[in-house]
Each structure stands twice: as structure tokens, then as C-alpha cells.
Amino acid sequence: MGPADLVIEVRGLRKAYGPVVAVDGLDLEMTRGEVLALLGPNGAGKTTTVEILEGYRRRDSGHARVLGEDPQHAGAAWRARRGVVLQSCDDVVDLTVRECVHHFSHFYPAPAQPDEVIERVGLGAKRDARIRSLSGGQRRRLDVALGIVGQPELLFLDEPTTGFDPEARRGFWDLVRDLAGEGTSILLTTHYLEEAEALASRVAVISGGRLVDMGPPGELGGRHDRPAEVSWLGPDGWQRTSTHEPTRLVVQLQAAFGGEVPGLTVRRPSLEDIYLELIGAAGAEGGGAPAEGSPARRRTAPAGPPARARVGAAAKAPAEAPAEAPAGGEP
């Protein structure tokens, strides 16, 4: 694959806010047409990375190319080629949905039909409602509409489905799949592992500003080679075995039981298991402690140190510094 097929090319990306190193030597590549999901605990540096690539923030060092240009210096023509859905935005409350989407469509050289975009994000029934009156999830859908109205080649979605109800999330997944099917490259961040699994062709896990692992959701952390866990209800109670050859074991069990195996389950590690393991290990080596609220903090990750120790580390980690701390520099 030639470099022309790379929509994002990042090497040794670094960004610090005063003493807080948010991105610490990140390498990332994304090919055209790909859906790449960035996963990582709160404060891992996802938004910082994404906003550097969108052209909002300046990197301290490292190489970054997005759609062939340096995002820090790219102009309006480049901005027309990528769409942005920011993590948080609370503006234009006195317009209707329709007015707002039409308004933003006027900035692009080849916009989609605004009314169609409104339908696509599922706001058809709310087209004439004031934005002020929308629910949180509906507002988020409007954010998505404004991100795609310019028909971008490359779409950045920073936690796009936060606040969506389950049905809306499924609807959004369909939309993302459609966009990807049309050839749009999509970089998304999410805290929902099932979302990454449903949408992403590849997943990148970052922690403490560093890439921990990257690969297709089914292969992350060697997931496809992991032993499967087989459990069943034997004569002496529940049995559980880890094996690389679950099929063989099941056949043997079938023979032993002479038919149906009671309570049989065969389970491979879920993406969440792998994720927690990766984050736990990264937290143990580097300083990048899982911050408050992240899944790893709530559970005991298999390979990590005891939860207690990690909580202590998190309290001291620079990631916990207040956002108001003197920033490294102006944009």
C-alpha cells in the first residue's frame, strides 16, 4: 500500500500541557476507507491526539500528515475535506435544527442535501424544533449532522454516541457503516467496546499518551490465539478448562456424557477483557495510571497490580492535574 493511501500518518507525536504530558510519542497510521477506533481510559490523550489531527491544537514535536497536509498549517480547502464532531459543544441554541444544518452547509463546496442529512441522523421529526429544546442525545445527533454535511473524505468523531439511547446507538452504527461503505475514512474515539467491535476495522488502544496495541478488534492483544475457556456441569459440580482446542474437548465431552453436555459454554476473551488487560499492563509499566471513572478502575484487571495500588498511583498522576493549570502555550 503506497503512502498515497494513507489518510493519517503520525510518528512520534508529542504534546504536553505544562507538566502534563498528554501525548507521548504516538505512532499511528490510517488508510483510506478505514474505520479506526481509538480506545483508552479518561485522560489517555485521545481528544488531544484527535484535535491535533483536526488542526485545532499544536503539537510540540513529531510528524503529522492528514490528507497529505500538515494539519497545523492546512487551509480552508483542506478543512472542506474532513468533518469534525467535537467532544463537547453547546452553541447556536436559538436556531432550529434545519436552519443550523442549512447554515453550515453553506460553508462547503460540495455539501450534502441538508434535509437528507437531518433524516440520516434521525432528527427528521425535530427539524423545526429549536436546538435549545433538544435532549442531550438529540443535540449530539445534530453535532454529527454538522460534521457530515460537507461530505468529508475523512471524519473525526470524538465520543459521538455519548448520551445516545441503545436504539439511537444502533441507528448511529448503521450511519457510520453507510458512510464507511461510501468510502469515508473515519477516526472515532469511544468508551464503548461493543461500539469499537461493531464498527472498527482496527482498534488502537492508548494509555498515558502512548500506543499500547493496535489491530483488528478480533486480533487485538493476540485475542484470536488466546485459549478458549470451556465450562460445563460435571458430576462433581462446575468444571472449567482453558484450552487451545475447544472443539476437540467438546467432542470428547460429548462422548463422555453420551450426548448433550450440561451447561456447556465456550468463551473466548471479549474485547473488554483484552482491553482491560492491556490497560492494566500499561498502567503497571508506564506512569499512565487509569484515571477515575475508567472501566479499569472499577474492576480488577487480570494482569495489573492490585486495584488499591493503582488508585493510589492515579491520585498522584499528572493526569489528575486541574484543567485550569497554566497551559504550555497558546494555540
Ligand X SMILES: Nc1ncnc2c1ncn2[C@@H]1O[C@H](COP(=O)(O)OP(=O)(O)OP(=O)(O)O)[C@@H](O)[C@H]1O
Q: What is the CA radius of gyration of the chain?
A: 22
**Cα–Cα distance, 172 to 325 (Å, whole number):** 36
Please, what is the minimum distance in Å from the beta carbon of residue 322 to other proteins?
10
Tell me if 171 contacts other proteins by CB under 8 A: yes
Tell me if 46 contacts ligand X by CB under 6 A: yes
55: enclosing H helix or E strand: none
Residues paired with 37 in a beta bridge: 188, 203
Please, what is the minimum distance in Å from the beta carbon of residue 99 to ligand X?
30
205 within 8 A of 212, measured Cβ to Cβ:
yes
143 CB neighbour count, 10 Å cutoff: 20
120 binds, among ligand X, Mg ion, other proteins, none (CB under 5 to 8 A by kind): other proteins
Tell me if 5 contacts other proteins by CB under 8 A: yes
**Cα–Cα distance, 176 to 196 (Å, whole number):** 11
**Cα–Cα distance, 97 to 115 (Å, whole number):** 10
- Candidate ranges 40-48, 214-222, 226-234, 296-304; the one touching Mg ion (CB under 5 A): 40-48
Is the torsion defined by CA of 10, 326, 79, 113 positive or negative? positive
- Candidate ranges 42-50, 93-101, 230-238, 280-288; the one touching ligand X (CB under 6 A): 42-50
20 binds, among ligand X, other proteins, Mg ion, none (CB under 5 to 8 A by kind): ligand X
Please, what is the minimum distance in Å from the beta carbon of residue 41 to ligand X?
7
Q: Is 193 exposed, middle or buried (0-12, 13-18, 19+ CB in 10 A)?
A: buried
42 binds, among Mg ion, ligand X, other proteins, none (CB under 5 to 8 A by kind): ligand X
* Residues 92 to 131 in contact with other proteins, rule: CB under 8 A: 92, 94-95, 99, 103-104, 106-110, 112-113, 116, 119-122, 124
Mark residues 54-93: x for contact with other proteins by CB under 8 A, - for none. xxxxx-----------------xx-xxx--x-x-xxxxx-
Nearest to 37 by CA among 162, 219, 197: 197
20 within 8 A of 318, measured Cβ to Cβ:
yes
CA end-to-end distance (rounded Å), the chain: 34
Q: Is 134 exposed, middle or buried (0-12, 13-18, 19+ CB in 10 A)?
A: middle
Question: What residue ranges bind Mg ion (CB under 5 A)?
Answer: 46-47, 87
Question: What residue ranges bind other proteins (CB under 8 A)?
Answer: 5, 17, 32-33, 54-58, 76-77, 79-81, 84, 86, 88-92, 94-95, 99, 103-104, 106-110, 112-113, 116, 119-122, 124, 141, 146, 150-151, 153, 168, 171-172, 174-175, 178-179, 181-184, 323-324, 327, 329-331
Question: What residue ranges bind ligand X (CB under 6 A)?
Answer: 17, 20, 22, 40, 42-48, 87, 319, 323, 325, 327
